């Protein structure tokens, strides 16, 4: 298969981690006889510095003319600490999502047996957790009217949802539940918000078309608690934009590191694949950031094009790296490996998994992984 992939590395650790995902995709292409071509484009703070625009037109055009987008990270503390900035890096990502109609953000969460002890949560609580969050991505409070009064004393962000916006992601979430454990939990705040009541009404109606799916409802405050109290109860979580943003960061604690969580954003035009983590500015350029979320996002990209064996190759390599403790400091505080070395291990493993090419002694010493 030939795939044109737009490479939007973005800010902070984005370039370091996406570089490993590209390395891994190159290995997959070589092994399975595919042709993946990458076109780099600027987005976020780096794009503001170069062009004054967090999403230059050229970047948008490259994305629209690609089959998929591999996205790194966005954000720079320079902008976070100055709320008066009218132009902010994150606008690049939000505009991209809106322009491409990427209304469904899919964030899977699984636990790796060898990492269970890394989580701050108890082993017995998280063992066997396996769910996916379907987060609505192009509407709600993020995209409502934002105002601030001229005296600087009042501000507002409005939250609007239409039935059409609710329906399209709900169908995707129900379909996902059908090929999983057949349970869907709608997370809302229907005891306080009109938009949430609309979500509940529509999702209940849509649920009648999926009689095989057990539909449950949770208020978001309770959901936040249930996620860490009994995460194994969830299969598919369906929720609106802001709740999904918050709950997915919370859920990453179950996995042991936010550096493990990948996502796919799909909708009307080119699909986008990105880690759920941010730009981690303190780690920028240090070669310590965990590339696995980016690499696993690349696996989701392959799944999207029905290259399931290829995606599985990536997941097996990732599991092997975790099992052998070939991990960055977030997962391995003593013998840790660099971002680049983790990427090298994964791509070498994909190309040569028949052979025991990695040097166990070197691994134990925390040195190079590959002979
Ligand atoms: C995410 C991020 C973004 C969001 C930011 C960078 C705008 O936190 O993808 O979860 O809030 O959607
Ligand atoms: Mg977020």
- Quick check: 38 and 22 in contact, CB under 8 A? yes
Ligand-binding annotation for 107, yes or no, is yes
* Ligand 2 center to 248 CA (angstroms): 7
Q: Quick one: tokens of 357?
A: 């090419």
142 is catalytic: yes
Interatomic CA distance for residues 361 and 353, integer angstroms:
18
136 close to ligand 1 (CB < 6 Angstrom): no
For the chain, list residues with pLDDT below 50.
Answer: 356, 364, 369, 371
Say if 1-103+261-371 and 120-145+155-254 have the same CATH topology.
yes
Ligand-binding annotation for 330, yes or no, is no
43 close to ligand 1 (CB < 6 Angstrom): no
CATH assignment, 120-145+155-254? 3.40.718.10
182 is catalytic: no
Q: Which of 79, 189, 280, 330 is catalytic?
A: 189
Closest CA to ligand 1's atom 6? 90
Ligand-binding annotation for 151, yes or no, is no
93 close to ligand 1 (CB < 6 Angstrom): yes
- Quick check: 115 and 127 in contact, CB under 8 A? no
φ/ψ region of 40 (left if φ > 0, alpha if ψ in -120 to 50, else beta) reads beta
Q: Which of 80, 221, 282, 309 is catalytic?
A: 221
CATH assignment, 1-103+261-371? 3.40.718.10
pLDDT of 367: 53
Nearest ligand to the CA of 262 is: 1
H/E stretch holding 238: strand 236-239
Q: Quick one: tokens of 112?
A: 């790796």
90 close to ligand 1 (CB < 6 Angstrom): yes
- Quick check: 217 and 226 in contact, CB under 8 A? no
C-alpha of 249 from chain center: 10
pLDDT of 354: 58
Closest CA to ligand 1's atom 4? 245
Ligand-binding annotation for 221, yes or no, is yes
Task: Sheet with 104-110: list strands edge to edge.
Answer: 35-40, 2-10, 68-73, 271-275, 262-266, 104-110, 130-136, 236-239, 183-188, 214-219
* Ligand 2 center to 195 CA (angstroms): 21
Q: Which of 11, 76, 245, 313 is catalytic?
A: 245
pLDDT of 356: 47
DSSP 160: -
235 is catalytic: no
Nearest ligand to the CA of 93 is: 1
* Ligand 2 center to 249 CA (angstroms): 6
Ligand 1 atom with the shortest distance to the CA of 245: 10
Neighbours of 354 (CB within 10 A): 6
Interatomic CA distance for residues 105 and 222, integer angstroms:
22
pLDDT of 355: 58
Nearest ligand to the CA of 74 is: 1
Nearest C-alpha neighbor of 92 from the set 135, 60, 70, 139 = 60
Pocket test for ligand 1, best of 94, 107, 141, 242 (most atoms within 8 A of CB): 94
Ligand-binding annotation for 313, yes or no, is no
Strand, helix or coil for residue 293: helix
pLDDT of 158: 98
- Kindly list the domain boundaries of the chain, sorted by start residue: 1-103+261-371, 120-145+155-254
Report phi then psi at 71, rounded to 5: -110, 140
- Quick check: 303 and 296 in contact, CB under 8 A? no
DSSP 273: E
Nearest C-alpha neighbor of 281 from the set 87, 46, 70 = 46
* Ligand 1 center to 236 CA (angstroms): 20
Nearest C-alpha neighbor of 347 from the set 313, 312, 305 = 313
The C-alpha R_g of the chain, in whole angstroms, comes to 21
- Quick check: 305 and 1 in contact, CB under 8 A? yes
pLDDT of 371: 42
* Ligand 1 center to 111 CA (angstroms): 23
* Ligand 2 center to 276 CA (angstroms): 6
pLDDT of 114: 85
pLDDT of 335: 77
Q: Which tens digits make up the pLDDT trace of 262-283?
A: 999 999 989 999 999 999 999 9
pLDDT of 243: 98
What pTM did the predictor assign? 0.93
249 is catalytic: yes
Closest CA to ligand 1's atom 9? 276
């Amino acid at each position: 298969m030939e795939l044109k992939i737009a490479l939007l590395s973005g800010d902070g650790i984005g370039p370091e981690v996406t570089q490993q995902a590209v390395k891994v995709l190159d290995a997959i292409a070589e092994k399975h006889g595919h042709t993946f071509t990458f076109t780099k484009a600027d987005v976020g703070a780096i794009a503001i510095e170069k062009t004054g625009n967090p999403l230059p037109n050229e970047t948008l055009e490259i994305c629209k003319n690609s089959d998929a987008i591999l996205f790194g990270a966005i954000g720079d503390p320079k902008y976070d600490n100055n709320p008066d900035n009218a132009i902010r890096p994150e606008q690049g990502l939000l505009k991209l999502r809106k322009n491409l109609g990427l209304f469904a953000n899919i964030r899977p969460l699984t636990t790796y047996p060898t990492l269970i002890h890394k989580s701050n949560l108890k082993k017995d609580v998280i063992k066997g957790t396996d769910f996916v969050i379907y987060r609505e991505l192009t509407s709600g409070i993020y995209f409502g009217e934002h105002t601030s009064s001229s005296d600087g004393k009042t501000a507002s962000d409005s939250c609007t949802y239409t039935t059409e916006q609710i329906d399209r992601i709900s169908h995707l979430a129900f379909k996902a539940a059908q090929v999983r454990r057949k349970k869907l939990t709608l997370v809302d705040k229907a005891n306080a918000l009109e938009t949430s009541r609309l979500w509940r009404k529509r999702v209940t109606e849509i649920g009648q078309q999926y009689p095989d799916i057990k539909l449950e409802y949770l208020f978001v405050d309770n959901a936040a608690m249930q996620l860490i109290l009994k995460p194994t109860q969830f299969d598919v979580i369906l929720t609106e934009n802001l709740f999904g943003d918050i709950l997915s960061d919370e859920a990453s604690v179950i996995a042991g590191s936010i550096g493990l969580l990948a996502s796919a954003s799909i909708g009307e035009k080119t699909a986008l694949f990105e880690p759920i983590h941010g730009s981690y500015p303190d780690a920028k350029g240090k070669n310590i950031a965990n590339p696995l979320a980016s690499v696993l996002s690349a696996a989701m990209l392959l799944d999207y094009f029905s290259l399931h064996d290829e995606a599985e190759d990536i997941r097996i390599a990732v599991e092997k790296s975790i099992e052998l403790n070939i991990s960055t400091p977030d997962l391995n505080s003593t013998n840790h490996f660099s971002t680049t070395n983790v990427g090298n291990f994964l791509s070498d493993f994909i190309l040569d998994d028949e052979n025991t090419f990695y040097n166990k002694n070197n691994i134990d010493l925390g040195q190079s992984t590959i002979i």
